Chain A
Amino acid sequence: MTEVTAAPAATSTGAAVTRGGGDASRVTDRRRGGKRRQRLEILLFVTPALALMALFVLYPVYSAARMSLYNWKGFGPMVDFAGLDNYARVLRDEVFTDAVVHNFIIVFASIAVQLPLGLALALLLNRRIRGRGLLRTVVFVPYVLAEVIAGVVWFQLLQPRTGLLEQIVSGVGLPVPEQGFLGTPDLALATVFVVLTWKYLGLAVLLFLAGLQGVPDELHEAAQLDGASWWQVQRRIAVPLLAPTIRTWVFLSMIGSLQLFDMVWILTGGGPANATTTMVTYLISMGTQRSNYGIAGAASVVLFLIGFALALAYQVLVLRRDTKVDA
């Protein structure tokens, strides 16, 4: 992102120099004055945003990092320095390491399932079919619903025996799990994932559809003139040109999966038997429920580092291709 915004600024100063022509010293003067002014302007416009960022992003990060070095119960002075003990506790805690695994299962499952599904739906909904607007809305509605409301509705649908979903499943003669879909440790995470897919597929489809609008019609026409089938057009033209959008979606999906909390909290609370804990449910239950704010702080720093490392790696390895093309 920084590269993109920096580029136009550089070109405009370059243009000023060319226009200035003859007198070199006057040009540098003006440039220097202009530069100072420009710096002031930048400062003026950027300061409020930076101040907010410092207050609401940097300070909490600092505060969590500081908390992670102490044994602290949430009140009274923070005096019991623990060094890196809390990190050792977090990393040795099986509940936390399992939570990390659950997060990564969700990360990979989201990409493996939602990407092809979303792409297929987007390609279909991009065709001229009857009721296209309605279908697009239907696919997108779950994403608009508040997460908590969607969660509560699914929680009711998934109730053992009395829930609508189990009644449908057993109605068509299929076996239902004894403890229900959410109450069976082996099924709970998969069930949560199905609900998440229902909830977030709409976003993928919306992004892909928007991306598809950017594919020039000429290319479609040219391909059709050359006798390409619909499939060939999608495979050779639409999908490759959609790649930057897909890469952006993958990034959003990854970060979202790492921060997963609300849906899990409502559907299972991390249970049964810690089968659906995520890093965030772990730090919430450690912090606000058990008053081990030091351990919660350490867990949040670990979450931050994992998210940061992943985001950075993705930027460098994958997204750079897109920003380079733009610049």
Chain B
Amino acid sequence: MLCSSAVLLTATACGGGGDSSSASGDGDDTITWWHNSNNEPGRGYYEQVAADFEEANPGTQVEVVAMAHEDMVDRLAAAFQSGDLPDVYMERGGGELADHVEAGLVQDLSDEVPDTIETLGGNVSGWQVDGQTYALPFSVGVVGFWYNTALFEQAGITEAPETMEDLYAAIDQLKAAGITPISVGAGDKWPAAHYWYYTALRACGQDVLEDAVTSLDFTDECFVQAGEVLAELLDTEPFNPGFLTTPAQEGASSASGLLATDQVAMELAGHWEPGVMQGLTDDGAGLGENTGWFAFPEIEGGAGDPEAQLGGGDAWAVSTGATDGSVDLVEYLLSDEVQTGFAENDMGLPTNPAATGAVSDPALAQLLEVRDASPYIQLYFDTAFGASIGGAMNDSIALLFADQATPQDIVDATMQAAELEK
């Protein structure tokens, strides 16, 4: 669930937002909009966007509330409990969104903005429930290995690994050179879980995955195979010492911190990683020009498409009973104009194809290419299944990392948690 905790490229640990406001959706003409672009340039850019929208729609007021990501998540949770939601807010899709839809908290946008939905294409699939679209993704990224090109060179690795065998070879070479190959924040569980998500994505065909996401039936052999491949990787002991309690992104001793400070050669992480690493280094450069990226390797004999990627993102949603004009604001946020500005400011990976060329950061531009070339993007399983099932799944995967669970246990624990939901 926390995967998107640094979706914002520049956001890490910043103080609370300055503006304070109540979540209002009643009576007045003010549209309340919560976002997590709490740092410049994103914060200023969104202020400008809101001002432009107000100008184009006389009589409409937009109250922009910028918050640090964690603050926003907490306040949203409270808002969902009380039912007093901001008019426009962020949804991460999947099971979480399905719960909000079931509770009648979020508006169906399918008939309101059909053109925008068509423009965004396959990107919206993570925010659809029963064929209806409930939120419009403005940034969708993919997960892969971020690596330190200088350390790879030092270990004599000339080409980024493409198969698991390549990866094992690279791990051996790095170890031989005295370099810790991979850092993983297994203390937060989801970074460890991403490994299993990927081995499942490579081991299972698209139809099997799509079926499993809806039926919550994981009895297909490929899910056990996913665990077996992961166990094989674990046997090569590639991870940083103490990885079982290593946090994902907080501080220099976190998995991201270890990569940013040249202490490990690679880490499996999402599109937020360069931004997180910049926040963890004194010079604010992260790995700088040594930043490299390669996709999760292919599994020999796996039924999955090696081009398919694991990912997720953030979308704008409109709450039930929101002020008139809220849907227009969301439509405007996904327009060519705003998405291009979003891309120019390197705030994320835009979903509107018109903005693709505007991404200036080379690492993000590469990622965008990979994303757009992939036949499909599997939403992070924990987001897709919701907190309860996803949490049980992540816990058992973390136990596999500690050598206290078998590949079969992961399948069993997930299906057991799914049983409670039925």
A residues adjacent to B (C-beta < 8 A): 71, 73-76, 89, 95, 155-156, 159-162, 178-180, 182-183, 185, 188, 267-269, 271-274, 285, 288-292
Contact = CB atoms under 8 A, between A and B. Distances in A.
A185 B242 contact: no
Please list the 7 inter-chain residue pairs (A to B) with the smallest Cβ-Cβ separation, ordered nearest first. Answer: A272-B244, A183-B242, A273-B402, A76-B103, A180-B242, A160-B242, A290-B391
B241 A161 contact: yes
A268 B102 contact: no
Interface in B105-128: 105
B77, B104, B244, most chain A CB atoms within 10 A: B244
A185 B404 CA distance: 10
B52 interface: no
A272 B80 contact: no
22 contacts: A73-B388, A74-B80, A75-B81, A75-B105, A89-B420, A178-B241, A179-B244, A180-B242, A183-B243, A183-B244, A185-B244, A269-B188, A271-B244, A271-B245, A273-B402, A273-B404, A285-B391, A289-B391, A290-B392, A291-B99, A291-B386, A292-B388
B102 A76 contact: yes
Given A75-B83, A273-B398, 8 more contacts: A73-B99, A75-B99, A76-B104, A180-B245, A183-B241, A183-B244, A185-B244, A273-B399
Interface of B: 1, 77, 80-81, 83, 99-100, 102-105, 186-188, 240-246, 253, 386-388, 391-392, 395, 398-399, 402, 404, 420
A289 B1 contact: yes
Contacts of A269: 187-188, 245
A155 B242 CA distance: 12
Contact of A290 (B77, B80, B388, B402): B388
Given A161-B241, A180-B241, A290 B387 contact: yes
Contacts of A182: 242, 245
B253 A156 contact: yes
A260 to B, nearest CB: 17
Given A273-B398, A274-B399, A291-B388, A268 B253 contact: no
A137 B100 CA distance: 53
Contacts of A291: 99, 386-388
A67 to B, nearest CB: 12
Contacts of A273: 244, 398-399, 402, 404
A68 to B, nearest CB: 15
Contacts of A74: 77, 80-81
Given A273-B404, A289-B1, A268 B245 contact: yes
Nearest to B386: A291
A164 to B, nearest CB: 12
A159 B80 CA distance: 38
